[in-house]
């Protein structure tokens, strides 16, 4: 299977397009990091811009609202104050006219004799008191006061000259004079209204009423209120310090005319220290009164009063509006930040929930995969288990078959041995049978002759012969194996005795030596001849009993002895040594010969079934395999080696059986 990239490039070549460059298919981590950072910075910038915009908008709106409210309140206040001022002025507007029409006034102007003057003074005094004006007085055409309501007091106007006063000039010209100024005598500010006094249509003097407007100073000083004249000079103010200042610089000639008219006495008219910060529509502006940034800020709204040409200016402090706008801005800022944080929190929460859902889905998927894998693995295991069961059954069956084959082999081997033995026995029996025939023929002749003694001798010989024949057949019966129940104890000496008896014929001419090695002797002695002594098979040796079936032991010994006989054929003289050694727990029987020994290539294969070096018909190659299997069955072992001084040696080791008190039973003798 090809990798995906190889497949995709093949596909694009096949379709006629250029293969994609490798970087186009890979995501660049640095680039995505950079994009992420840029995106976050942009979001941050947008949020900051949003915050600034929201704050600015709130501040602007709040400030505008506050200023609008201020303007509305100021307009109401200005309206109220202006109408109060106007009604005051209007109330006295007709008083000089009525005065000018009065004959006493006209008389004193035409003829200012003391009597007329006194009458006029009294009249003016009385009128002034009733009209509640400040001062009422009459000026002759030459500009001097002829009579006044305050004629009695020290500050009497009588005799004072008013030629320079605009209200006098206006009235002399036939008009109505209106003027605000500081009194030349009283030094008190006041509003002057004048009318020409006519007699027979001719102006003979001027009647003047002065009003005190000082009540104006009593208005609320926290929201200053000022009234300026047509030149912009503040002559009424709720803040006394601002009085007689201009709101704009005075041109020189105007300043001169004011000075000439002694309108505001002789004091200099200074401009009010005003810094205009912002012009608003409709005669309004934001300004500071006083120097420096800490000077109070006001919203100044100008309202015209018509006649006289005065202006009422309301000054509303803007600082509270600023403070309110700031508060609203802070609240908005907080609200905005809270909303952003809430949005962030909500976004993070959503991301977390999404992440959780994804993790859960992944977990479920992994769980499902795990379940599937477990199921697959379980299925595999079940299959393996089933296979194992089958194999176990197969093995058991094979083992049973092997065991059966093994038993079969043993049986076959027995039959083979039996064949050999039968030949031997036939040979052995033929001779005594022939002797029996000749003895019986002889005995019959002797009996016919009456030679009783010879006949008895013959019968005795016949008895010996039959006994010998019985022994031979008994051996055959033994070898078949099922002639009697098997014993789990085998006397080594008896087994050797039986085997030697069985192979008696083949052993003729062979030096056969039986040795008993004393294992209890010192190891140094053991090597010496002192530890070895001849083993007499005629002795019982009840201590030499192995834990093994006696017939099987004999079968092994027949094999070993038979092989030794085969190996020593042709040796002069053939020699076989059988060494029996009894240990604490084990017994060993070593069958050694002076044959050619076992070649190195043969040694490892000796115990293989059907392995033989003998010629066809001479050996089956089963003897050692069966013998070794018997040794194992009995809990022992069979090993082969070459002896140091030449020849082969086979050592059979068996477990030692416990010694029994009962007398031994020799099957050979018992069976005869």
**Residues in region 482-521 near ligand ADP by CB under 6 A:** none
Question: For the chain, how many residues are written?
Answer: 672
- CA–CA dist 256, 234 (Å, integer): 17
Q: Which is nearer to ligand ADP, 228 or 594 (CB)?
A: 594
Stretch that binds ligand ADP, among 157-165, 200-208, 238-246, 591-599 (CB under 6 A): 591-599
Does 7 contact ligand ADP by CB under 6 A? no
Stretch that binds ligand ADP, among 71-79, 249-257, 539-547, 620-628 (CB under 6 A): 620-628
Cβ at position 375, least distance to ligand ADP in Å = 56
Stretch that binds ligand ADP, among 98-106, 332-340, 441-449, 592-600 (CB under 6 A): 592-600
Does 481 contact ligand ADP by CB under 6 A? no
Stretch that binds ligand ADP, among 19-27, 133-141, 477-485, 611-619 (CB under 6 A): 611-619
Cβ at position 417, least distance to ligand ADP in Å = 10
Residue in the block written with tokens 């039973």: 665
Reduced to 3 states (helix: H, G, I; strand: E, B; else coil), residue 484 is: coil
Cβ at position 605, least distance to ligand ADP in Å = 8
SS3 content of the chain, % helix, strand, coil (to 5): 55, 20, 30
Cβ at position 595, least distance to ligand ADP in Å = 5
- CA–CA dist 503, 574 (Å, integer): 15
Stretch that binds ligand ADP, among 264-272, 317-325, 392-400, 595-603 (CB under 6 A): 595-603
Cβ at position 592, least distance to ligand ADP in Å = 8
Stretch that binds ligand ADP, among 274-282, 288-296, 544-552, 613-621 (CB under 6 A): 613-621
Does 19 contact ligand ADP by CB under 6 A? no
**Of 272, 242, 238, 271, nearest in space to 254 by CA:** 271
Q: What is the per-residue binding string for ligand ADP in 625-664, x denoting contact by CB under 6 A?
A: x----------------------x----------------
Out of 141, 185, 447, 602, the residue judged to bind ligand ADP by CB under 6 A: 602
- CA–CA dist 544, 490 (Å, integer): 9
DSSP 217-235: GGS-TTS-EEEE-TTSBEE
Work out the burial of residue 97: count CB atoms within 10 Å of its CB; fewer than 13 is exposed, 13-18 middle, 19 or more buried. Answer: middle
Structure tokens belonging to residue 505: 């014929």
DSSP 421-448: HHHHHHHHHHHHHHHHHHHHHHHHHHHH
Cβ at position 560, least distance to ligand ADP in Å = 7
**Residues in region 325-344 near ligand ADP by CB under 6 A:** none
Q: Measured in whole angstroms, how far is the alpha carbon of residue 376 from the centre of its chain?
A: 30
Out of 614, 632, 655, 665, the residue judged to bind ligand ADP by CB under 6 A: 614
Does 623 contact ligand ADP by CB under 6 A? yes
Out of 19, 317, 619, 671, the residue judged to bind ligand ADP by CB under 6 A: 619
Mode of pairing for the β-strands spanning 270-271 and 245-246: parallel
> Which phi and psi angles does 148 have, rounded to 5°?
-150, 150
- CA–CA dist 365, 378 (Å, integer): 19
Cα angle at 192 between 187 and 197, to 5 degrees?
A: 125
Cβ at position 642, least distance to ligand ADP in Å = 9
**Residues in region 551-570 near ligand ADP by CB under 6 A:** 559, 563-564, 567
Q: Which is nearer to ligand ADP, 172 or 624 (CB)?
A: 624
Cβ at position 537, least distance to ligand ADP in Å = 21
Q: Catalogue the long-range contacts made by 362-367 (C-beta closer than 8 Å, 24 or more residues apart).
A: none
Q: Which is nearer to ligand ADP, 112 or 621 (CB)?
A: 621
Cβ at position 587, least distance to ligand ADP in Å = 21
Q: Which is nearer to ligand ADP, 289 or 648 (CB)?
A: 648
Q: Which is nearer to ligand ADP, 152 or 614 (CB)?
A: 614
> Which phi and psi angles does 533 have, rounded to 5°?
-140, 155
Out of 107, 170, 550, 593, the residue judged to bind ligand ADP by CB under 6 A: 593
Cβ at position 584, least distance to ligand ADP in Å = 29
- CA–CA dist 499, 622 (Å, integer): 18
Stretch that binds ligand ADP, among 128-136, 272-280, 498-506, 618-626 (CB under 6 A): 618-626
> Which phi and psi angles does 83 have, rounded to 5°?
-70, -35
- CA–CA dist 375, 341 (Å, integer): 49
**Of 246, 302, 297, 294, nearest in space to 276 by CA:** 297
Does 613 contact ligand ADP by CB under 6 A? yes
DSSP 535-582: PPTTS--TT-EESS-HHHHHHHHHHHHHHHHHHTTT-SS-EEEEEEEE
* Closest CB to ligand ADP: residue number: 619
- CA–CA dist 476, 634 (Å, integer): 23
**Of 175, 166, 195, nearest in space to 263 by CA:** 166
Which distant-in-sequence residues (6+ apart) come within 8 Å of 517 by Cβ?
526, 531, 532, 579, 580, 581
Out of 317, 333, 621, 671, the residue judged to bind ligand ADP by CB under 6 A: 621
Stretch that binds ligand ADP, among 152-160, 350-358, 392-400, 619-627 (CB under 6 A): 619-627
Does 574 contact ligand ADP by CB under 6 A? no
Cβ at position 625, least distance to ligand ADP in Å = 6
Cβ at position 472, least distance to ligand ADP in Å = 23
Does 606 contact ligand ADP by CB under 6 A? yes
Cβ at position 658, least distance to ligand ADP in Å = 32
Which distant-in-sequence residues (6+ apart) come within 8 Å of 548 by Cβ?
488, 489, 490, 630, 634, 636, 654, 655
Cβ at position 575, least distance to ligand ADP in Å = 12
- CA–CA dist 502, 562 (Å, integer): 11
Out of 598, 630, 634, 638, the residue judged to bind ligand ADP by CB under 6 A: 598
Total binding residues for ligand ADP by CB under 6 A? 21
Which distant-in-sequence residues (6+ apart) come within 8 Å of 276 by Cβ?
285, 286, 287
Does 211 contact ligand ADP by CB under 6 A? no
Cβ at position 562, least distance to ligand ADP in Å = 7
- CA–CA dist 173, 201 (Å, integer): 13
**Residues interacting with ligand ADP, by CB under 6 A?**
559, 563-564, 567, 593, 595, 598, 602, 606, 611-614, 619-625, 648
């Amino acid at each position: 299977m090809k990798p995906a990239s190889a497949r995709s490039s093949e596909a694009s070549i096949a379709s006629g397009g250029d293969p994609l460059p490798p970087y186009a298919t890979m995501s660049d981590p640095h680039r995505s990091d950079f994009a992420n950072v840029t995106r976050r910075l942009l979001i941050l910038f947008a949020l900051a811009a949003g915050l600034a915009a929201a704050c600015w908008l709130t501040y602007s709106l709040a400030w505008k609202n506050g200023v609008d409210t201020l303007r509305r309140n100021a307009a109401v206040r200005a309206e109220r104050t202006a109408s109060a001022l106007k009604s005051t002025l209007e109330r006295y507007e007709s008083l000089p006219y009525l005065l000018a029409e009065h004959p006493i006034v006209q008389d004193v102007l035409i003829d200012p004799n003391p009597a007329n003057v006194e009458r006029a003074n009294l009249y003016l005094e009385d009128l002034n008191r009733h009209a509640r004006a400040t001062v009422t007085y009459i000026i002759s055409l030459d500009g001097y006061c002829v009579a006044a309501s305050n004629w009695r007091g020290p500050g009497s106007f009588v005799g004072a000259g008013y030629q320079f006063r605009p209200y006098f000039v206006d009235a002399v010209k036939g008009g109505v004079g209106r003027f605000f100024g500081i009194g030349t005598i009283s030094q008190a500010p006041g509003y002057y209204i004048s009318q020409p006094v006519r007699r027979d249509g001719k102006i003979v003097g001027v009647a003047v009423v002065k009003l005190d407007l000082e009540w104006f100073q009593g208005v609320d000083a926290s929201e200053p209120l000022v009234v300026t004249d047509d030149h912009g000079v503040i002559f009424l103010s709720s803040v006394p310090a601002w009085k007689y200042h201009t709101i704009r610089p005075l041109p020189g000639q105007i300043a001169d005319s004011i000075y000439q008219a002694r309108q505001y006495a002789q004091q200099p008219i200074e401009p009010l220290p005003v810094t205009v910060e912002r012009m608003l529509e409709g005669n309004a502006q934001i300004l500071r009164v006083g120097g420096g940034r800490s000077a109070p800020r006001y919203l100044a709204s100008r309202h015209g009063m018509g006649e006289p040409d005065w202006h009422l200016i309301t000054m509303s402090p803007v600082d509270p509006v600023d403070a309110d706008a700031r508060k609203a801005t802070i609240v908005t800022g907080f609200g905005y930040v809270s909303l952003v944080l809430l949005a962030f929190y909500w976004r993070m929460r959503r991301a977390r929930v999404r992440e959780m859902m994804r993790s859960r889905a992944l977990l479920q998927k992994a769980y499902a995969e795990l379940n599937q894998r477990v199921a697959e693995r379980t299925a595999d295991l079940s299959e393996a288990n089933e296979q194992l069961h089958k194999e176990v059954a197969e093995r058991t069956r094979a083992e049973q078959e092997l065991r059966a084959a093994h038993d079969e082999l043993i049986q076959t081997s027995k039959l083979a041995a039996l064949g050999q033995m039968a030949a031997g026995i036939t040979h052995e029996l033929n001779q005594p049978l022939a002797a029996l025939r000749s003895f019986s023929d002889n005995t019959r002749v002797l009996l016919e002759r009456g030679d009783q003694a010879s006949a008895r001798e013959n019968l005795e010989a016949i008895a010996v012969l039959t006994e010998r024949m019985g022994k031979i057949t008994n051996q055959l019966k033994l070898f078949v194996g099922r002639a009697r129940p098997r014993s789990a104890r085998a006397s080594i000496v008896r087994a050797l005795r039986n085997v030697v008896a069985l192979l008696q014929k083949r052993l003729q001419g062979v030096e056969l030596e039986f040795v008993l090695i004393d294992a209890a002797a010192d190891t140094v002695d053991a090597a010496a001849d002192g530890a070895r002594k001849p083993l007499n098979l005629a002795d019982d040796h009840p201590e030499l009993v192995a834990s093994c079936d006696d017939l099987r032991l004999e079968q092994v010994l027949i094999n070993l002895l038979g092989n030794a006989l085969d190996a020593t054929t042709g040796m002069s003289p053939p020699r076989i040594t059988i060494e029996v050694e009894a240990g604490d727990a084990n017994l060993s029987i070593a069958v050694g010969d002076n044959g050619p020994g076992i070649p190195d290539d043969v040694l490892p294969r000796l115990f293989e079934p059907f392995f033989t070096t003998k010629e066809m018909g001479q050996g089956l190659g089963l003897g050692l395999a069966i013998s070794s299997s018997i040794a194992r069955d009995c809990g022992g072992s069979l090993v082969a080696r070459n002896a140091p001084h030449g020849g082969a040696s086979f050592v059979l080791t068996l477990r030692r059986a416990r010694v029994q008190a009962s007398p031994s039973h020799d099957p050979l003798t018992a069976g005869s």
